Amino acid sequence: MKRILSGIMAAVSAVAAARAGDGCAVVSGDRIHMKDLARLRPVFGQADPEAFLGFAPAPGVRRVFTSGQLKRLMQAHGLAGKTPAPVCFERAARRRTAEEVAEAARRAWGDREVRVEVVDYQRTPAPEGRLEFPRNRLAVAAGAGPETEILWRGRVVYGRGRSAPFWARVRLAERRRLVVARRELKPGEEVKAASVAVREVEVAPTAPEGFRRREAVLGARVRRRIAAGEPVFADAVAIPAAVSRGDLVRVEVLSGGTRLAFEARAENSARKGELVRLRSPLNEKAHLTATVTGVGRAVIHAGGDLEKDR
């Protein structure tokens, strides 16, 4: 027990001595070399500058070389002189600016023109490295809009595959041309041409894709209240099926300038733009996959799927 306590006291004394001296040497890589030590203790400048001494500490932690360790290093490298005072090392770290945080957040969206407003962010120093904000680390609540403050948990990637957490609170927005409500739409109401329009609006980049043509929502039933000027998203309306299971569907097959039309029975329900599986009128065991183009209508382009039951 006495030996353990003595070791602890020696380590504490070494740390205190290192901090009371001329400060810690800052290293930016994962390894501490002799040249790093020589910056604070010149006697080691006579040794191989690339000699490996140990690994750099984690961010916010100091690694101390005690006087005893330094004495043994001198002996190992054939250096003479007085035993140096303890020395400490710490990893290079700095505080990020709001501009750096905004730029890193914008990079997460690639070529999309997303406006980033940084509300708050981590002020404590973070290691030197690349600041990243993965999109799957956004804490987004349902219905978040461009004015919603969002917590984004990012990271600073440094060294060889290491990372340190970094957080920011942001507001995100991008402009899209979408179908919006011209007036308030109430649950159960049928969407008519006069009640919607296509306009350029600002939405959160995390918002659903939305509809770009009025025709896509006409005849739909409103599921929840949609305020005037609000985009009409798929979760807010119930789009009726253009083809129901068992319906006789008018099918067109297009191949260059050739056009073939026939009727087939639908084996599933589908909305406009979705795929429908059809029973071939020529072979009971064959199925066709077509894209629904309207009520009771579908199209197959050359190269479409033709399946046979096995």
CA–CA separation, 120 vs 152, rounded Å? Answer: 10
Tell me how crowded residue 133 is: count the other CB atoms within 10 A of its CB.
Answer: 22
* Residues 6 or more apart whose Cβ sits within 8 Å of residue 288: 251, 264, 277, 278, 279, 280, 300, 304, 305, 306, 307
Q: Is the dihedral of CA 267, 271, 275, 281 positive or negative?
A: positive
CA–CA separation, 83 vs 68, rounded Å? Answer: 8
- Give the β-pairing of 138-139 and 130-132: unpaired
Kindly indicate whether the domain formed by 248-308 is annotated with CATH number 2.30.30.760: yes
What Cα–Cα distance (Å) separates residue 262 from each residue in 276, 299, 303? 15, 10, 17
User: What's the Rg (C-alpha) of the chain?
Assistant: 34
Q: Which pairs from 233-241 meet CB under 8 Å and 24+ separation?
A: 233/207, 233/208, 234/208, 234/209, 234/210, 235/208, 237/191, 239/271, 239/272, 240/271, 241/269, 241/270, 241/271
Of the listed ranges 37-46, 139-148, 208-217, the one predicted with least confidence = 139-148
In the block, tokens 């690694």 appear at 63
CA–CA separation, 45 vs 268, rounded Å? Answer: 79
Which pLDDT tens digit goes with each residue over 174-184?
A: 999 999 999 99
User: What is the pLDDT confidence band of residue 126, given thresholds at 50, 70 and 90?
Assistant: very high
CA–CA separation, 135 vs 140, rounded Å? Answer: 10
CA–CA separation, 14 vs 54, rounded Å? Answer: 17
Q: What is the CATH number of domain 175-238?
A: 3.90.1210.10
According to CATH, where is 2.30.30.760 located in the chain? Answer: 248-308
Q: Where are the alpha helices (DSSP H) in 87-169?
A: 98-107
One-letter-per-residue 3-state SS of 184-196? CECCCCECCHHHE
Mean pLDDT of the chain: 86
Q: What is the mean pLDDT of the segment spanning 180-202?
A: 95
According to CATH, where is 3.90.1210.10 located in the chain? Answer: 175-238
Which pLDDT tens digit goes with each residue over 97-119?
A: 999 999 999 999 999 999 999 99
Q: Is the pLDDT of residue 282 over 80?
A: no
pTM: 0.64
How many helices and strands (H and E) does the chain possess? 4, 21
Which pLDDT tens digit goes with each residue over 261-271?
A: 888 899 998 88
Which pLDDT tens digit goes with each residue over 23-34?
A: 688 888 888 999
For 119, phi then psi, to 5°, come to -85, -45
Closest CA to 305 of 269, 273, 278, 271: 278
